[in-house]
A and B are shown apart, each in its own frame.
Chain A
Amino acid sequence: MPDDVKVNTKRMSMIVTKGTLDWAYPPFILATTAAAMGLDVTMFFTFYGLTLLKKKLDLEISTLGNPAMKMPMMGVHMVMPNLMSAMPGVDAMATTMMKNLIKRKGVASIEELRAAAVEADVKMIACQMTMDLFEYTMADMIEGPVVGGAATYIETATKSDINLFI
């Protein structure tokens, strides 16, 4: 237990289901900030969220199905049409552009946020069923997370003040 956990510590749990670069941010930002504010945090990674636990992060974004994606380019906000995603290299370019934007704006990288979460003793659970489904092993993942199932998550959630599905 971290040395600043008191009896009336608030708890937060999250189910993390997405593995794209943009969707990696909410869970790690919330987890690290909550931990910094004294909450006890548990993250349950399932489906595509499992990619956020891999040793080597290779997160991408897509222009497909992202009608709200308007990227600041050349002084205006450019709409990224769905159809462009079908062209080779477009998603890779969108990912590179997003990464450059992140760096330029002084936003933390996912690697840094994840390391901060681990350092803050955020509990990480990998969903056993989807690990099996996608044939991932714990050897693919960073040190720290344990495996668990739905019942493990539900128990944590019943004791938490905040439960989020991301």
Chain B
Amino acid sequence: MATQVLDVKGLNCPLPILRAKKALKDMPTGATLQVLATDPGAVKDFEAFCRATGNALLESTVEGKVYSFVIKRAG
């Protein structure tokens, strides 16, 4: 299944988390979401978000100023 991409570059806390939550809600279990953000706070925020919600954080990388998080939607 293709990974859905959510672009929240240029948006500040808490928008990356809120938008990701909204996107994940409509996705089937096991689907993956890639979030692209420029907010440095998002790194720890997505770790915490995934721990709290049980969604798996498969990947957390940075390329230049853009952070990329790949999240797998839990059941």
Contacts and interface: CB of A to CB of B under 8 A. Distances in A.
A and B interact physically: yes
Ranked nearest first, the 4 interchain pairs of A and B with the lowest CB-CB distance are A36-B21, A37-B52, A106-B11, A106-B10
A107 B21 CA distance: 17
Among A29, A37, A107, the one with the most B-chain Cβ atoms within 10 Å of its Cβ is A37
Interface residues of A, number: 12
A77 interface: no
Contacts of B18: 32-33, 36, 108, 116
A145 interface: no
A38 B49 CA distance: 9
B61 interface: no
Contacts of B17: 33, 36-37
B14 A108 contact: yes
Contacts of B27: none
B52 A32 contact: no
B66 interface: no
Interface in B1-39: 10-15, 17-18, 20-21
A136 to B, nearest CB: 28
Interface of B: 10-15, 17-18, 20-21, 48-49, 52-53
Contacts of A37: 17, 48-49, 52-53
Nearest to B51: A37
Interface in A59-105: 105
B14 A38 contact: no
Contacts of B11: 106, 108
Contacts of A29: 13-14
Contacts of A108: 11-12, 14-15, 18
Interface in A103-145: 105-108, 113, 116
